[in-house]
């Protein structure tokens, strides 16, 4: 009978080990597949940048030139995300270990007072997270030391049989420790995937911004340039002709603008157009005057912003006029100049 029970236990452990190995293999395969997909997207962007350099749309130093501005604009956001991912991993690690420790204590050392409850850990707040972990570790260490002393005093007094204690501990570890390792493995692969996602997002944002710079340079010859110091109004004039034999009503619309290097969000430009509505007789030509308010809150100094003006008339294809916007530093007043 004992031999049959031993064989049954051995078979159970073998099946658990096989299931555990299968889960690790599945997690690893998912991770590798995800890394492969992201690497392919990143590789495609690298090829686009290389092709743009070969066509002369980008300078050979375009990526190097982009690097400083990219880190200045996005570096802090990626650092914060990295800190958040790391703290979330350790928060879950502490929560898993605390739950396992509590259960093991109740099974192996009955009668020991419950450990202090784990506080709700907020991985989005770095200072609060470290303070919570420090305070909880201190209170938990104090509780463990006190509990072990009280338990060993009971063992010394003969209230608990050591043989029974060894058997209960062995049975508990055999039953629950594999599951604990499985939870830790899942946390580990989640962290690897999150870190790789962050790395791939940074590379792809950087390469997309570099490509955007090249596309804006290709349209320089056709663009309207709107430049001026903060608080000024930049203006440009555009001639439009009605080449049809029928009258035409000209309509125009501005797209959102954004930095040419792809950094930062897009914004709606504060344009005004004179005349507000343009009606042209057959073969008539007129001028549009564009005025753009240059506000420091909207535009970074010396950074190129790009957008477009869409013009449509009766029955004509839409005309897209590229816009290039730059806020330049104000010239010093005469009284501010020093000899």
Domains of the chain: 2-218 (no CATH), 222-331 (2.60.40.10)
For residue 140, how many other CB atoms are within 10 A of its CB?
A: 16
Least confidently predicted of 24-28, 259-263, 285-289, 312-316: 312-316
pLDDT at 291 over 90: yes
pLDDT computed for residue 124 by the predictor: 63
pLDDT per position as a tens digit, 137-166? 778 778 777 777 777 777 777 766 666 667
Q: What is the mean pLDDT of residues 164-186?
A: 75
Helix (H) or strand (E) holding 274: strand 271-274
Give the C-alpha separation, 293 to 269, whole Å.
Answer: 8
pLDDT per position as a tens digit, 323-337? 889 888 765 555 554
pLDDT higher for 198 or 134? Answer: 198
pLDDT computed for residue 198 by the predictor: 85
Nearest alpha-carbon partner for 319 in 234, 251, 235? 251
51: Cα within 13 Å, side-chain hemisphere:
8
pTM above 0.75, yes or no: no
Give the C-alpha separation, 27 to 183, whole Å.
Answer: 12
The tokens of 283 are what?
């073969």
Sort residue 100 into left (φ over 0), alpha (ψ -120 to 50) or beta. alpha
**Per-residue DSSP letter, 260:** T
pLDDT at 218 over 50: no
pLDDT higher for 319 or 229? Answer: 229
pLDDT per position as a tens digit, 259-278? 887 788 889 999 999 988 88
Average pLDDT, the chain: 77
pLDDT computed for residue 221 by the predictor: 43
pLDDT computed for residue 220 by the predictor: 43
Contacts of 326 (CB under 8 A, 6+ apart): 225, 226, 227, 299, 302, 303, 304, 305
The tokens of 228 are what?
């001026």
pLDDT per position as a tens digit, 104-133? 776 767 667 777 777 776 666 667 777 777
Across-strand partners of 326? 227, 304
pLDDT at 293 over 90: yes
Query: pLDDT-derived band of residue 203, with 50, 70 and 90 as boundaries?
Result: confident
Label residue 216 exposed, middle or buried (CB < 10 Å: 0-12, 13-18, 19+). buried
Measured at the CA of 261, the angle between CA 225 and CA 79, to 5 degrees, comes to 145
Helix (H) or strand (E) holding 327: strand 319-328
pLDDT computed for residue 135 by the predictor: 80
Measured at the CA of 210, the angle between CA 204 and CA 212, to 5 degrees, comes to 100
Q: What is the mean pLDDT of residues 250-264?
A: 86
Q: What is the mean pLDDT of residues 38-66?
A: 82
For residue 116, how many other CB atoms are within 10 A of its CB?
A: 14
């Amino acid at each position: 009978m004992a031999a049959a029970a031993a064989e049954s236990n051995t078979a159970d452990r073998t099946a658990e080990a096989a299931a555990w190995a299968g889960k690790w293999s599945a997690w690893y395969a998912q991770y590798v597949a995800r890394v492969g997909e992201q690497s392919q997207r990143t590789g495609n962007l690298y090829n686009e940048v290389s092709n743009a350099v070969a066509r002369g749309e980008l300078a050979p130093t375009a990526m190097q030139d982009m690097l400083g501005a990219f880190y200045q604009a996005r570096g802090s956001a990626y650092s914060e995300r990295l800190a958040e991912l790391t703290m979330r991993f350790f928060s879950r690690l502490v929560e898993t270990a605390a739950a396992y420790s509590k259960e093991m204590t109740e099974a192996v050392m009955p009668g020991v007072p419950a450990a202090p409850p784990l506080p709700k850990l907020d991985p989005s707040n770095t200072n609060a997270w470290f303070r919570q972990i420090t305070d909880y570790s201190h209170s938990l260490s104090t509780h463990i030391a006190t509990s072990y002393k009280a338990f060993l005093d009971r063992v010394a007094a003969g209230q608990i049989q050591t043989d029974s204690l060894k058997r209960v501990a062995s049975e508990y570890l055999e039953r629950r420790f594999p599951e604990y390792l499985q939870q830790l493995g899942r946390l580990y692969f989640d962290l690897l995937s999150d870190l790789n996602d962050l790395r791939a997002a940074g590379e792809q944002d950087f390469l997309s911004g570099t490509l955007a710079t090249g596309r804006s340079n290709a349209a320089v010859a056709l663009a309207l340039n709107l430049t001026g110091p903060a608080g000024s109004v930049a203006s440009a004039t555009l001639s439009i002709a009605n080449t049809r034999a029928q009258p035409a009503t000209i309509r125009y619309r501005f797209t959102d603008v954004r930095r040419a290097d792809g950094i930062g969000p897009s914004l709606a430009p504060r344009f005004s157009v004179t005349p507000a509505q343009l009606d042209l007789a057959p073969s008539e030509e007129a001028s549009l005057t564009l005025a753009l308010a240059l506000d420091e809150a909207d535009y970074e100094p010396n950074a190129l912003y790009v957008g477009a003006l869409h013009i449509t008339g009766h029955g004509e294809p839409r005309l897209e006029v590229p816009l290039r916007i730059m806020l330049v530093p104000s010239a010093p007043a005469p009284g501010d100049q020093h000899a």
